[in-house]
């Protein structure tokens, strides 16, 4: 079974509008972390936002917010006021358990390609 | 330079060639990773080094050979590759303190795009 599922291969949004990118996850570990990364055409993966499984509040970072619904095992990324520079691939990722062995093993979803139109 | 730097950015090689990918991190991190990103597939973790010791090898074929000479450098030696090995190879680093609750995000380089003919 897939650990991280991103069901939207591609999304379009008008500049200045908000957009939600879906992510569902599967784990039986009560301790986990959820991440969103952006990958522009240059190839670099850019960390956007993090949500811990015990965090009471939804994470926010500037125009990015994470809609964390623990019971539904979903961690959707919301981008407000989209900009042309937001056009990129977006990946949801999960770490199961706490950091162990001095490193952090992330499992990634297949990604969603977002296109922002002027 | 800052962050994670990967060279070369692009590499074309024949199936009988031997080449190496290089990664250097300037962040003082203690863990480094190789990921493979193929078209239409999720990122696949290949190797993890923590404190210069290999701690993960996710069933990667022996034609891929990692090397971590120190905490700042990571190499991926390539030998007798197949066309299906063509992909973007991403290096990442992180700073982990065992037992600590931290976000643990990985910092990635821009990748080395490999084409095997």
Burial of A83 (0-12, 13-18, 19+ CB in 10 A): exposed
Q: What is the pLDDT of residue A100?
A: 62
Q: Which two tokens stand for residue B12?
A: 């074309």
Task: Give the DSSP per-residue string, B28-80.
Answer: --SEEEEEEE-TTS--EEEEEEETTEEEEE-S--TTEEEEEEETTEEEEEEES
Helices and strands, counts by H and E, chain B: 0, 11
> Cβ of A40 under 8 Å from any chain B Cβ?
no
Say yes or no to pLDDT of B98 above 70: no
Among A32-36, A103-107, B97-101, the minimum mean pLDDT is found in B97-101
The CA distance from A9 to the nearest CA of chain B, in Å, is: 9
Tell which phi-psi region holds residue B59, choosing left (phi > 0), alpha (psi between -120 and 50) or beta.
left
Q: How confident is the model at residue A92 (pLDDT cuts 50, 70, 90)?
A: very high
pLDDT in tens, B31-87: 999 999 998 788 999 999 988 888 888 889 999 999 999 999 999 999 999 999 999
> Residues B30, B91: contact at Cβ < 8 Å?
no
CB-CB: which of A46, A47, A100 is closest to B98? A100
Phi, psi of B70 (to 5 degrees): -155, 175
Confidence band, pLDDT 50/70/90 cuts, at residue A98? low
Task: Rounding to the nearest 10 degrees, give the CA dihedral for residues B103, A73, A110, A57.
Answer: -40
Rounded percentage of chain A residues whose pLDDT exceeds 90: 80
A98 vs B contacts (CB less than 8 Å): 99, 101
Calculate the average pLDDT of chain A. 92
Any CB–CB contact under 8 A between B101 and chain A? yes
Residue B70: CA atoms inside 13 Å, Cβ hemisphere, count?
Answer: 5
Angstroms from B79 CA to nearest CA on chain A: 24
For an interface test with B, the pick among A41, A43, A95 (most B C-beta atoms closer than 10 Å) comes out as: A43
């Amino acid at each position: 079974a897939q650990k991280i599922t991103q069901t939207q291969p591609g999304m379009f949004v008008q500049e200045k509008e908000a957009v939600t990118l879906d992510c569902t996850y599967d784990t039986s570990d009560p301790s986990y972390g959820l991440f969103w990364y952006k990958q522009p055409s240059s190839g670099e993966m850019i960390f956007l936002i993090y949500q811990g499984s015990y965090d009471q509040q939804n994470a926010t970072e500037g125009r990015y917010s994470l809609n964390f619904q623990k019971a539904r095992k979903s961690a959707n990324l919301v981008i407000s006021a989209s900009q042309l520079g937001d056009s990129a691939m977006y990946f949801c990722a999960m770490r199961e358990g706490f950091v162990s062995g001095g490193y952090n093993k992330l499992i990634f979803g297949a990604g969603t390609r977002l296109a922002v139109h002027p | 330079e800052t962050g994670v730097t990967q060279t070369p950015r692009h590499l074309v090689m024949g199936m009988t060639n031997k080449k190496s990918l290089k990664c250097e991190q300037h962040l003082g991190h203690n863990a480094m990773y190789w990921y493979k990103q193929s078209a239409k597939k999720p990122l696949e973790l290949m190797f993890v080094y923590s404190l210069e010791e290999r701690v993960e090898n996710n069933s990667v074929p022996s034609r891929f050979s990692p090397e971590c000479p120190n905490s700042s450098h990571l190499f991926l030696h390539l030998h007798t590759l197949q066309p299906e090995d063509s992909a973007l190879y991403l290096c990442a680093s992180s700073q982990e303190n065992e037992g600590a609750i931290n976000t643990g995000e990985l910092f990635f380089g821009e990748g080395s795009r490999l084409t095997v003919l």
